[in-house]
Amino acid sequence: MNESNANAKPALAAWAPLGAAALALGLAGWAAYDAHVSAESLREALGARLGEQAARQKASSQAIDTLTQELKDAQNRVREMEGRLSEYAGQRVALEEMARELARAPDDWLLAEIEQTLNIASRELTLAGNVRAALSALQGADQRLARADKPQMAALRRAIAQDMERLKALPVSDTQGISVKLETLMGLTSTLPLAVPDALAASPREAKPDDVEDNWFVRLFKDFWHEVRQLVRIREVGTQDPALLSPQQSYFLRENLKLRLLSARTALIARDETNYKEDLRLARDMLARHFDAKAKVNVNALATLKQLADNPLSIAAPDITVSLNAVRAARAASEKR
């Protein structure tokens, strides 16, 4: 038994390394399997996390796009609000200006109205020499001041009354009416009959009944002789008689008369009284010398020119500076108050 035990110990000693190796191999296999399982689990977990990260990134990108669009919309709304704010600011300024205008004293409105009326009267005098219109404007301003019944306006009323008296003292001249008469005469210059009619300057040969019986050579000779006789014409002209004018000279005579009347009208508008009188005198001389003195239309034209030259005419434009200075001084004093 001892001998069998002795034999068993070496046998156990021989199998012990094999068992240890098998155990180690099993442990290694289990460890490898466990590592493989762990790696698969880790790979699956990593893939899941990567998917979640990609989904989150996509959601973030969409959110960024949405925020960008909302930001653009907000910027557009801000710009629109800024535009409306500027518009409201302009309206506010206009309303404040209107409030200031409405808050002005009634005296300021009255003086502004009077100054506007006086400016209109001054323009009528300066541009057209229309004394009647200026007087009407001054009378209207004086009546407006009288209705207001303001003691502080007494100096202004005295100035307006002074200018009205100066304008009333001027001779009344209808500048517009005179201009219309001159324009009418200019339109008649082409039809006024001359002292020597235009028909005398050139008259064609009238055909006679016996010309038909003549042959062509005789008719040709008669036409030629008529033309030769037209080359030289003898007419007795006294010292005061008008000269015989050709059709071309008659045309230029009428045009010169028209230009003389136009010059008189221009001098009237320019308030050049000296040239106005001189142009009327020269136009009368031309009309009396070269045009038929017995024709009714010429007689009327001469009478019109004489009337225009003899009527008292004050072309020099007066002014109403006294009233204008007074109303401006009143406005300055009112603004200081």
Question: Residues of the chain with pLDDT > 90: what percent?
Answer: 5
Angle (CA) 242-248-253 rounded to 5° is 50
Query: pLDDT tens digits, residue range 6-51?
Result: 555 565 666 667 777 777 777 777 888 778 788 888 888 888 888 8
DSSP E strand boundaries for 73-168: none
Query: pLDDT tens digits, residue range 274-331?
Result: 888 899 999 999 888 888 888 888 899 999 988 888 876 655 556 788 888 888 888 8
How many residues appear in the chain? 337
Using a cut of 0.85, tell me whether the model's pTM lies above it. no
Task: Please report how the helices 154-169 and 131-148 are oriented relative to each other, as an axis angle in degrees rounded to 10.
Answer: 160
Phi, psi of 59 (to 5 degrees): -65, -40
- Residue 124 DSSP code: I
Residue for token pair 């009326």: 117
Angle (CA) 128-130-133 rounded to 5° is 130
Query: pLDDT tens digits, residue range 130-148?
Result: 778 888 888 988 888 888 8
Q: Quick check: 117 and 140 in contact, CB under 8 A?
A: yes
| Spatial distance between the Cα atoms of 54 and 17, rounded to a whole number of angstroms | 54
For the chain, domain boundaries: 106-170+319-336, 174-203+243-315
How high is the mean pLDDT of the chain? 77
211 pLDDT more than 60 = no
Identity at 26, one-letter amino acid code: G
| Percentage helix, strand, coil for the chain under 3-state DSSP, each rounded to 5 | 80, 0, 20
- Residue 198 DSSP code: G
DSSP E strand boundaries for 253-296: none
